[in-house]
């Protein structure tokens, strides 16, 4: 029996199509990774492609690791020649070899967000930028967006003509890049931008990698930004054997720079594209998929497709509306405990609670803790962002390369050596004036205006040089341990004798474990300090999710992308929360469509059971605010929804018995049962006004008829929008709850807007 017999018909088509551009539209849970790995095997075994000529790219280290493991199992001998990598890891490997052609040294440092922020503080100080008015984080965000679009500092300056704030950011951008280069450092965005710059400047380097990677596969293509699209286009230009896999319905990272047009317009960019749809879902029940399909079908900017499955029909989607957010969280916590402890239907690790924003986790945490339900928040404080970890990594970076000013400054006085901030600032200014690195400038502290600090600094310099010599005969973990002992860092923590200090020591021990793990499993011939620092720099919090521990997972929907759970609770389904208030009021329907895709992702995380809930009122910024049921809930096919609220009376009794001293619980449950959860019927789905009234969302909703009478414009009229400027109305379309107005704006092109929110004015 062939390994390809286990694939369905469409999966086989995608696997066997090897020449020319290929777009695989892979719906949620449709087995796309299976297709990619089998396609690699088919290229090698049936087409005769050398593994050396294959490149597979994905977005996270976890996904790349899983793909690498599957490829190794299927291909066997020779699989190590295949590049299975994230975008950033691939670029690091290329730049380590050729970045000297751009004027950098090949042992460059990779800056994380904290390093970049520290550097930007110095830049702002040097340029006399008021960081109370223009914060470093905002400046860095604008620079990151510019790099995503491949804008140089000069282009940003040109685009900001007449905009004082934009001009200030452009100045910071230019100085920031100069400082990065002086430190022989790159930030995350630079890894891709500099690789593109290298390819454009050095045709022979580009040709080398075009010949090397004659067959390219890109996973999660809907998440690519403009820079990543350009990078892949350059690599694939010669042979055109580019296979991209993605789902436009799961494009949810616009805020990170993802450009959905990359997948929607793929056939136009590559005219000879073959498009194959993977619509069979292996994850969820029929009813869950029906719910997801009915929601996403309301999006206009998408490719037509619908998930289906041979799985069981499954339970209906439960919908519950509560009087308050407290009631909602309390019910979820009790229901989870009942499902696990009383009924034994699931383990805690089978269950996920999803929400739109991180702030929503607080109430869930409180109620889960009260019931002794174990949980973990994914997306909390990153291990590698903890102070003690960043301190040790800064020492290792300084030993590896003294070019990184951020790293050197971080540990110059850690533990305390009596070197003042004024001395450090003078040395930094001296380094900038002399165009040398901060580490080099340390030897000239006297010339820099800090003569009294010279003796203490000389001891630090000598210690770093000694550590560098130790690399010749010590392993990496021995070197790290020696640094901790000789600097006195570990001794200082031990002397504190506090719980916090003990926790920090445990974290340091875990980092040592990581170093040992790297040494034992590194792909290169021998482990290197640079290699370890690269690996650490590319690790994300989600990559370390431990799937073996038994706890309920709490996370935002964004963090849940790519995961699946037998039972899912989707809370806070209220207009203004999900979809967000900003998306509703922006006047751009594409913002609501992004939120709808996010809802689609949330629904399709559920395998067997899905509970959707909302609250009539929620505390926001210290005030109680009333909420309407999310429009996305109203879009779910009523045939698959159970809104009966069965079992609520029992839950009310349990809470009062288990939490007798909770005044908020008593207040919540002193009301009549009918007020606790809205037992709305979905029988009137075809009558929007009646249905909305039955769900208690009359307030704030404009009827279509009233809206029609209020429109001051018609097709052919010129109108003005507060954000998009002036344009021509080309179409007005009647929708269930509003009018969709299509406007061709002079500056931004065609936009589809809802009349109630767009507030267009006839001109």
Using an 8 Å Cβ cutoff, are 136 and 126 in contact?
no
| Catalytic choice (250, 280, 285, 556) | 250
Residue 729's SS3 state is: strand
Look up 220 and say whether it is catalytic: yes
Using an 8 Å Cβ cutoff, are 427 and 437 in contact?
no
Nearest Cα residue to 631 out of 579, 695, 590, 700? 579
Using an 8 Å Cβ cutoff, are 47 and 18 in contact?
yes
Q: Alpha helices, DSSP H only, in 213-360?
A: 226-236, 261-264, 266-269, 286-296, 325-337
Look up 250 and say whether it is catalytic: yes
Q: How far apart are CA 613 and CA 592, in angstroms?
A: 20
| Catalytic choice (32, 287, 397, 561) | 32
Q: How far apart are CA 287 and CA 282, in angstroms?
A: 13
Q: How far apart are CA 692 and CA 679, in angstroms?
A: 13
Number of other CB atoms surrounding residue 401 within 10 Å: 22
> What are 741's two structure tokens?
């107005």
Parallel, antiparallel, or unpaired for β 54-58 and 215-218?
parallel
Q: Is the dihedral of CA 618, 620, 623, 626 positive or negative?
A: negative
Using an 8 Å Cβ cutoff, are 441 and 431 in contact?
yes
Look up 637 and say whether it is catalytic: no
| Catalytic choice (605, 631, 652, 751) | 605
Q: How far apart are CA 631 and CA 581, in angstroms?
A: 12
Using an 8 Å Cβ cutoff, are 618 and 625 in contact?
yes
DSSP 256: G
SS3 per-residue string spanning 175-197: HHHHHHHHCCEEEHHHHHHHHHH
What are the beta bridge partners of residue 574?
A: 629
Q: What is the DSSP annotation of 639-678?
A: GGEE-S-TTHHHHHHHHHHH-TT-HHHHHHHSS-HHHHB-
Burial annotation 601-617 (CB, 10 A radius, 16+ → b, else e): bbbbbbbbbbbbbbbbb
| Catalytic choice (148, 175, 187, 220) | 220
Using an 8 Å Cβ cutoff, are 385 and 395 in contact?
no
Residue 348, CA distances (Å) to 355, 376, 617, 623 in order:
18, 11, 29, 33
Q: Is the peptide bond before 467 cis (omega within 30 degrees of 0)?
A: no
Nearest Cα residue to 370 out of 332, 339, 344? 332
> What are 264's two structure tokens?
């929607």
SS3 per-residue string spanning 396-460: HHHHHCCCCHHHHHHHCCCCCCCCCHHHHHHHHHHHHHHCCCHHHHHHHCCCCCCHHHHHHHHHH
| Catalytic choice (33, 131, 226, 347) | 33
Using an 8 Å Cβ cutoff, are 727 and 719 in contact?
yes
| Catalytic choice (142, 189, 190, 219) | 219
> What are 227's two structure tokens?
């820079």
Look up 219 and say whether it is catalytic: yes
Q: How far apart are CA 257 and CA 235, in angstroms?
A: 21
H/E stretch holding 484: helix 476-486
Look up 32 and say whether it is catalytic: yes
Q: Alpha helices, DSSP H only, in 541-612?
A: 557-560, 581-585, 589-603
Positions marked active-site: 32-33, 219-220, 250, 605
């Amino acid at each position: 029996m062939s390994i390809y017999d286990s694939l369905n018909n469409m999966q086989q088509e995608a696997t066997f199509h090897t020449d020319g551009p290929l777009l695989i539209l892979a719906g949620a849970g449709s087995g796309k990774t299976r297709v990619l790995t089998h396609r690699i095997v088919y290229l090698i075994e049936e087409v005769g492609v050398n593994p050396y000529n294959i490149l597979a790219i994905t977005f996270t280290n976890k996904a790349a690791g899983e793909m690498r493991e599957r490829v190794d199992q299927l291909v066997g001998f020779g699989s190590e020649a295949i590049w299975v990598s994230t975008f950033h890891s691939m670029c690091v490997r290329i730049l380590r070899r050729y970045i000297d052609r751009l004027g950098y040294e090949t042992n460059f440092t990779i800056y994380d967000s904290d390093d970049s922020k520290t550097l930007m503080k110095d830049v702002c100080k040097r340029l006399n930028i008021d960081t109370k008015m223009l914060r470093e984080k905002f400046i860095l965000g604008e620079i990151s967006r510019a790099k995503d679009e491949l804008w140089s500092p000069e282009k940003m300056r040109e685009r900001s003509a007449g905009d004082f704030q934009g001009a200030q950011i452009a100045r910071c951008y230019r100085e920031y890049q100069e400082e990065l280069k002086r430190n022989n450092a790159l930030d995350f965005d630079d890894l891709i931008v500099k690789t593109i710059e290298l390819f454009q400047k050095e045709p022979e380097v580009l040709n080398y990698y075009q010949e090397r990677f004659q067959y390219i596969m890109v996973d999660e293509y809907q998440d690519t930004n403009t820079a990543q699209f350009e990078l892949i286009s350059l690599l694939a230009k010669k042979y055109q054997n580019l296979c991209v896999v993605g789902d436009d319905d799961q494009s949810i990272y616009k805020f990170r720079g993802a450009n959905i047009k990359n997948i929607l317009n793929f056939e136009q960019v590559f005219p000879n594209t073959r498009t194959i749809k993977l619509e069979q879902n292996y994850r969820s029940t029929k009813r869950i998929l029906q719910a997801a399909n009915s929601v996403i079908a309301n999006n206009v900017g998408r490719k037509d497709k619908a998930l289906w499955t041979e799985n069981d029909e499954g339970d209906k989607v439960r919908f519950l509306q509560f009087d308050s957010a407290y009631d909602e969280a309390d019910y979820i916590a009790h229901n989870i405990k009942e499902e696990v402890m009383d009924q034994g239907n699931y383990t805690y690790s089978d269950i996920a609670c999803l929400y739109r924003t991180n702030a929503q986790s607080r109430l869930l945490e409180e109620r889960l803790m009260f019931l002794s339900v174990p949980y973990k928040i994914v997306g909390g404080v990153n291990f590698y962002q903890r102070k003690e970890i960043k301190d040790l990594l800064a020492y290792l970076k300084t030993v590896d390369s003294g070019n990184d000013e951020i790293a050197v400054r971080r540990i110059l006085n850690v533990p305390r050596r009596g070197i003042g901030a004024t001395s450090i600032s003078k040395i930094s200014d001296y380094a900038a004036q002399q165009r040398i690195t901060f580490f080099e400038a340390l030897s000239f502290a006297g010339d820099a205006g800090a003569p009294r600090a010279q003796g203490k600094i000389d001891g630090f310099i000598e210690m770093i040089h000694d550590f560098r010599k130790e690399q010749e005969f010590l392993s990496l973990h021995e070197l790290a341990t020696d640094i901790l002992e000789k600097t006195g860092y570990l001794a200082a923590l031990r002397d504190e004798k506090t719980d916090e200090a003990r926790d920090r020591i445990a974290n340091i021990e875990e980092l040592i474990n990581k170093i040992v793990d790297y040494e034992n499993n590194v792909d290169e011939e021998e482990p290197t300090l640079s290699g370890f620092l690269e690996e650490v720099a590319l690790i994300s919090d989600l990559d370390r999710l431990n799937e073996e521990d038994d706890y309920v997972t709490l996370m935002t929907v964004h963090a849940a992308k790519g995961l699946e759970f037998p039972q899912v609770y989707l809370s806070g389904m209220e207009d203004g929360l999900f979809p967000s208030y900003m998306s509703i009021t922006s006047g751009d329907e594409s913002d609501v469509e992004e939120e709808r895709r996010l809802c689609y992702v949330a629904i399709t995380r559920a395998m067997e059971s899905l509970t959707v809930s909302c609250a009539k009122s929620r505390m926001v910024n210290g005030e109680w605010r009333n909420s309407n049921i999310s429009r996305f809930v109203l879009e779910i096919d009523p045939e698959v929804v159970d809104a009966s609220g069965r079992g609520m009376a029992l839950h009310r009794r349990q809470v009062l018995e288990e939490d007798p001293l909770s005044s908020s619980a008593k207040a919540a449950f002193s009301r009549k049962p009918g007020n606790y959860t809205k037992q709305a019927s979905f029988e009137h789905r075809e009558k929007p006004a009646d249905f909305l009234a039955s769900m208690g969302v009359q307030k704030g909703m404009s009827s279509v008829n009233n809206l029609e009478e209020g429109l001051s414009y018609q097709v052919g009229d010129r109108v003005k929008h507060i954000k998009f400027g002036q344009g021509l109305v080309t179409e007005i379309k009647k929708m269930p709850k509003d009018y969709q107005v299509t406007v061709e704006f002079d500056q931004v092109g065609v936009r589809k807007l809802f009349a109630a929110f767009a507030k267009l004015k006839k001109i």
